[in-house]
Amino acid sequence: MKVLRIYLKILKIFFIGFAALIVFVGFQAKAKTVFYFDGLQPDKKSLEFVVYVRVDSDKPLNAYDLIVQYPNNLIRFKRVDTNNSIVNIWKRTDVSSENEIVLQGGSAQPFMGERGQIIALIFEAVKNGQDNFIFKKAAAYLADGKGTLADDIEMKSVPVYISQIKLEGEMNAGLVVQETPAIIKEDKTPPQILTFKIADNPFNEKERFLIFETKDNSGSMKHFVRTKKWFTWNQWYEINNPFAFSKNVWALEFVVVDNFGNGTTKKLNFYNIIAPKIIFLIFIISLVGLLIKIGYNKIKKR
């Protein structure tokens, strides 16, 4: 009996230890995702400064849905820079109200680690004062093939100080910007088109995707496209990556323009789309011509 009691006590200790191990592992395995801002001080002769939106995560992520609020009483939003971003497919990068920027996008390559750069936001100082950058919304999705929402998310705000303190360029927890005349450096180098390809749209069998990736020294770019279904171009309109277009389109022209007006153009033609249209048009013209000829001969015989 004494041996049995010792055995049961050892077994009890084992199960307590095992249960504690399971709790510990479960706690450690819980996904932790942190969104935060990172500021780069401007050159002392510039009014513009950069705010990086970053993420740390201990589990792989591949989609993001954020709303950033900024103090529009002190600074003015200028543009975005998606170079060096972990996101390569953007759905939205636009100002939704006077002081909110919506950032929605994903990536083919999942991100897991620290200091993942989602986007760089460029602002211009307009007034002295102090306020904060905050996340109104921050959601991320795990790269598990199921679109699972990351459930343990932390959002960190950061203060911004607009003053005339002279600081050299350096990384800071807060942002200090001075008000002095801005100097804009001229840029004559056009943007580069790194990726430009067509893929089927898995969500709509009547559409294709144009997938592109561009790069420019200025960091700020806009992308435009126009298409042909018959013989005339439609109007230019701004697009994000990827761009969905109808399979009836037989010609596509794409242009990327930087902040200094430099542009790079690329064209695509789908002759297998236009060929049946031309044949059909020739058939209609021939048929109309034949009917006119038959009608003319009948009138002539009278």
pLDDT tens by residue, 188-220: 778 888 889 888 887 788 898 998 888 887 666
Shared-domain flag, residues 197 and 170: no
Say if 10 falls within a structural domain.
no
Sign of the four-CA dihedral 296, 298, 299, 302 = positive
Shared-domain flag, residues 148 and 38: yes
Reply yes or no on whether the pLDDT at 59 is more than 80.
yes
The whole-number pLDDT of residue 45 equals 57
The whole-number pLDDT of residue 182 equals 38
Token pair in block for residue 273: 């789309």
Shared-domain flag, residues 44 and 100: yes
Q: How much is the average pLDDT of 234-247?
A: 86
Say if 278 falls within a structural domain.
no
Q: Report d(CA 183, CA 273) in Å as an integer.
A: 50
Q: Report d(CA 283, CA 272) in Å as an integer.
A: 17
Number of domain units in the chain: 2
Question: Is 213:241 a contact under the CB 8 Å cutoff?
Answer: yes
Shared-domain flag, residues 54 and 154: yes
Find the range with the poorest average confidence among 14-28, 109-123, 185-199, 275-289: 14-28
Q: How much is the average pLDDT of 212-240?
A: 83
The whole-number pLDDT of residue 302 equals 65
CA angle centred on 107, ends 90 and 203, rounded to 5°: 70
Find the range with the poorest average confidence among 46-55, 67-76, 173-182, 233-242: 173-182
Question: Is 107:87 a contact under the CB 8 Å cutoff?
Answer: yes
Sign of the four-CA dihedral 71, 74, 77, 80 = negative
Q: Which residue has the higher pLDDT, 59 or 291?
A: 59
Shared-domain flag, residues 136 and 40: yes
The whole-number pLDDT of residue 114 equals 92
Question: Is 155:138 a contact under the CB 8 Å cutoff?
Answer: yes
Question: Is 111:55 a contact under the CB 8 Å cutoff?
Answer: yes
Q: How much is the average pLDDT of 216-229?
A: 81
Closest CA to 155 of 58, 75, 68: 68
Q: Band of the pLDDT at 232, cuts 50, 70, 90?
A: confident
Residue that is last in its domain, among 118, 144, 177: 177
Shared-domain flag, residues 155 and 56: yes
Half-sphere exposure of 207 (CA within 13 A, CB side): 11
Shared-domain flag, residues 171 and 197: no
Sign of the four-CA dihedral 155, 50, 75, 80 = negative
- Residue 185 is classified by DSSP as P
Report pLDDT digits (tens) over 10-28.
334 333 443 343 333 343 4
Question: Of 108-112, 162-166, 277-281, which has the strongest mean pLDDT?
Answer: 108-112
Dihedral of CA atoms 154, 91, 257, 47 in degrees, nearest 10, equals -30
Q: Report d(CA 188, CA 282) in Å as an integer.
A: 47
Report pLDDT digits (tens) over 74-110.
888 989 998 889 998 888 888 887 889 999 999 888 9
The whole-number pLDDT of residue 187 equals 62
Shared-domain flag, residues 40 and 170: yes
* Mean pLDDT for all residues in the chain: 77
Percent of residues, the chain, with pLDDT higher than 90: 17
Shared-domain flag, residues 80 and 200: no
Shared-domain flag, residues 55 and 98: yes
Say if 170 falls within a structural domain.
yes
Residue that is last in its domain, among 147, 177, 207: 177
Say if 165 falls within a structural domain.
yes
Say if 3 falls within a structural domain.
no
Whichever domain contains 236, its CATH number is: 2.60.40
Q: Which residue has the higher pLDDT, 193 or 262?
A: 193
Q: Report d(CA 68, CA 53) in Å as an integer.
A: 9
The whole-number pLDDT of residue 230 equals 81
φ and ψ of 18, to 5 deg: -65, -45
Question: Is 58:112 a contact under the CB 8 Å cutoff?
Answer: yes
CA distances from 4 to 14, 15, 16, 134 (A): 15, 16, 18, 62
Say if 281 falls within a structural domain.
no
The whole-number pLDDT of residue 66 equals 93
Shared-domain flag, residues 41 and 160: yes
Domain range for 237 is: 192-269
pTM for the full predicted model: 0.51
Say if 13 falls within a structural domain.
no
272 Cβ neighbours under 8 A, 6+ residues apart? none
186 Cβ neighbours under 8 A, 6+ residues apart? 260
Say if 97 falls within a structural domain.
yes
Shared-domain flag, residues 117 and 214: no
Whichever domain contains 80, its CATH number is: 2.60.40.680
Find the range with the poorest average confidence among 17-21, 224-228, 286-290: 17-21
Residue that is last in its domain, among 152, 177, 202: 177
Token pair in block for residue 23: 């709790």
